[in-house]
Homo-oligomer: A and B are copies of this chain.
């Protein structure tokens, strides 16, 4: 398993409830791809959402996000962490 940071743009005005709902939608199906979304952060002014996950591949992360209705704009493998 590797760690990934993915980014969604265009989410201006996202609320805490919407972030929670989107995260829960990921959690509900992440097991299909052996992915686990561990954290998420949102900047509602810029419209950027950052998701941290453990997953077998970036493609697996994207498949979960797509099925949950919110495809990521960037998915970064982050093999170096502190």
Contact = CB atoms under 8 A, between A and B. Distances in A.
Interface of A: 3, 5, 14-16, 19-20, 23, 39-46, 48, 50, 52, 76-82
Nearest to A11: B80
Contacts of A23: 82
Contacts of A42: 78-81
A40 B82 CA distance: 5
A41 B53 CA distance: 12
A42 to B, nearest CB: 4
Contact of A43 (B16, B40, B77, B82): B77
Contacts of A81: 39-42
